[in-house]
Amino acid sequence: MKHTLKRIIFKAAQKAFEKGVFSSDEMPEMEIEEPRHQSHGDFSTNFAMVSAGIQKMPPRKIAEGLVALIETGSLIEKVEIAGPGFINFFLSKQAWHPVVNRILEQDKNYGASDIGKNEKVQVEFVSANPTGPLHVGHGRGAAVGDSVAKILSFAGFDVQKEYYINDSGRQIRTLGTSVWLRLLEKAGQKIEFPDDCYKGDYIQDLAGEVLEKYGDGFVKKDEQEAVEICAKYAANKILDGIKEDLSSFGVTFDQWFSEQSLYDSGQVQKAIDEFKSRDLIYEQDGALWFRTQDFGDEKNRVVVRNNGLTTYFASDIAYHMEKYERGFDRVIDVWGADHHGYIKRIDASIVASGRKSEQFNVILVQLVSLLRGGKPFQMSTRSGEFVTLKNIVDEVGKDAARFMFLSRSYDSGLDFDLEVAKQKNANNPVYYVQYVHARITGILLKAKQETILQDIDFKKGENLDLLTAEEEINLLKILDIFKENVEKSAATLHPHVMFTYLMSLASAFHSYYNKHKVITDKKELTLARLSLVLGVKKVIRNGLALLGVSAPERM
């Protein structure tokens, strides 16, 4: 509707120029917004204010000249000027009826946009070290990253999802050592288990598997070789578990990228050599440093330690350079909030490689606090134990977990109440929204059973002029702005925009359903209302799909 109003305003402004009312035909960037108060109409524009400098006229005078040339009729009921020059539009009820036809015609494509213009975007998320199972924090990052990718794709971007496997470096060696020591313990040896090694039952399980696979003689193996074998076995086994857990959570990736491959292919050294040749990497105290301070970082950063070992920053430089070399126009990384200090150094390396800072975005996901019945919940106090993503999905289900993870902006901490997520009532957000889809499915099934829909295929709405109730017009208005919310969500990289929209649509439907019967004793009115609720059903389905949540037919 906003696009339609813009066209009407531009047409009237062009007329005003042709008639000599306006001195210029230049069109400004204007806003069209819903007023806070219903008495101010359906939409309001600041066209007159932003045109004052162009037309060299007072805003009120501009508004008067424009309004005089706007035609009212089937779409616009009346136009008013308010305050210094705001123009308020009051639309007729029938202006909203075509929304239903657009939904029924476009179906699964309703709400899709082309704002992305096929720009090639990579979204990298989760990327947890294969040193342990995914925990609840990874779950929120997975839901955010996967939904951002879905929304961007729906908004016209060419999106690829990637998981970066940290299968190189100190943490993998520590994993191997942890498994090796537990293996020796199982073989009857008394060992000292260092504090910096990985704890938890899963390490014990992995040690038992390695011992069973290689036999009792494995304990006599050279320690360095044994640790490498344990590290490789454990990392692969944990990664298989991560893939399985993510699949159960509805998350798949187009690419699983190995950090070790950057070393094996020589790309890390290549990146270091390139920046050294440009004096962006220099030697000091036996170490190699990147001049990140020249690009806005608080200090320069080490890429190769004085013992010759590279830092994670070195491989991250090579990895991000490699991303752009693959042809991505834009890279989006989803990180935990504790990585905030890492943004500047990665951004510095990207800018240093000749790209623009705008081609790199980082989504920082805040922590999740688990609750049970409103009280803080911890799975166990034993060292090394934590609540895994699998625990959450097994208890509340994929849909509830994803919807709850996306119920607030990732900029804010999230209280996730397990008991609320399991409830079958309006207190549970996912149930509240999914129930709309299931309820409408039931209504349509009943209409078929009563032969009301005998010859109706709903390729377009029926008797839409009968949709005049306040609650019906309100539903139509919300359905109309679905695409606007998709575009806002894509532009801001905030999937909770879609959560908020769906909750609003569900609330409007529940209010409507509680006040009006859909199947009435008047067939024409029934068909009109069936057309409307079918439109609601399709938009609920499309919106839930963007969040990776199913739209059940029955509940």
Instruction: Answer whether residue 27 shows pLDDT above 90.
Output: no
Rounded to whole angstroms, the Cα distance separating 94 from 197 reads: 68
What phi and psi, each to the nearest 5 degrees, are found at residue 443?
Answer: -60, -45
Question: Which DSSP category does 56 fall into?
Answer: T
State the average pLDDT over residues 330-343: 96
What pLDDT score does 384 carry?
55
State the average pLDDT over residues 30-42: 88
Instruction: Answer whether residue 85 shows pLDDT above 70.
Output: yes
State the average pLDDT over residues 318-333: 97
Under CATH, to which class is 125-264+366-422 assigned? alpha beta
Residue 447 neighbours by CB under 8 Å, 6+ apart: 453, 519, 526, 530
- Between 37-41, 123-127, 143-147, 364-368, the lowest mean confidence (pLDDT) is in 37-41
Q: Do domains 1-91 and 125-264+366-422 have the same CATH topology?
A: no
What pLDDT score does 378 carry?
67
Instruction: Say which residue, 28 or 177, is predicted with more confidence.
Output: 177
What pLDDT score does 170 carry?
86
H or E stretch covering 535: helix 523-546
What pLDDT score does 79 carry?
92
- R_g of the chain computed on alpha carbons: 29
Cβ count near 212 (within 10 Å): 11
State the average pLDDT over residues 79-100: 93
- The pLDDT confidence band at residue 385, using thresholds 50, 70 and 90, is low
Nearest to 85 by CA among 37, 36, 38, 30: 30
Give the SS3 label for residue 97.
coil
Q: How far apart are the first and last CA of the chain?
A: 34
CATH value of 97-115+426-547 in 1.10.730.10, 1.10.10.10, 3.40.50.300, 3.30.70.3340: 1.10.730.10
State the average pLDDT over residues 316-331: 97
What pLDDT score does 387 carry?
87
Give the SS3 label for residue 303.
strand
- The pLDDT confidence band at residue 459, using thresholds 50, 70 and 90, is confident
Three-class secondary structure assignment of 422-460: HCCCCCCHHHHHHHHHHHHHHHHHHHHHCCCCCCCCCCC
What pLDDT score does 495 carry?
98
Handedness of CA 81, 83, 87, 91 (dihedral sign): negative
Read off the pLDDT of residues 231-263 as tens digits, 9 standing for 90 and up. Answer: 999 999 999 999 999 999 999 999 999 999 999
Q: Looking at the domain that runs over 1-91, which CATH code has it been given?
A: 3.30.1360.70
Hey, where are the domains in the chain? 1-91, 97-115+426-547, 125-264+366-422
Please, are residues 123 and 161 in contact by the beta-carbon 8 Å criterion?
yes
Read off the pLDDT of residues 265-310 as tens digits, 9 standing for 90 and up. Answer: 999 999 999 999 999 999 999 999 999 999 999 999 999 999 999 9
Question: Full-prediction pTM beyond 0.85?
Answer: yes
Instruction: Answer whether residue 37 shows pLDDT above 90.
Output: no
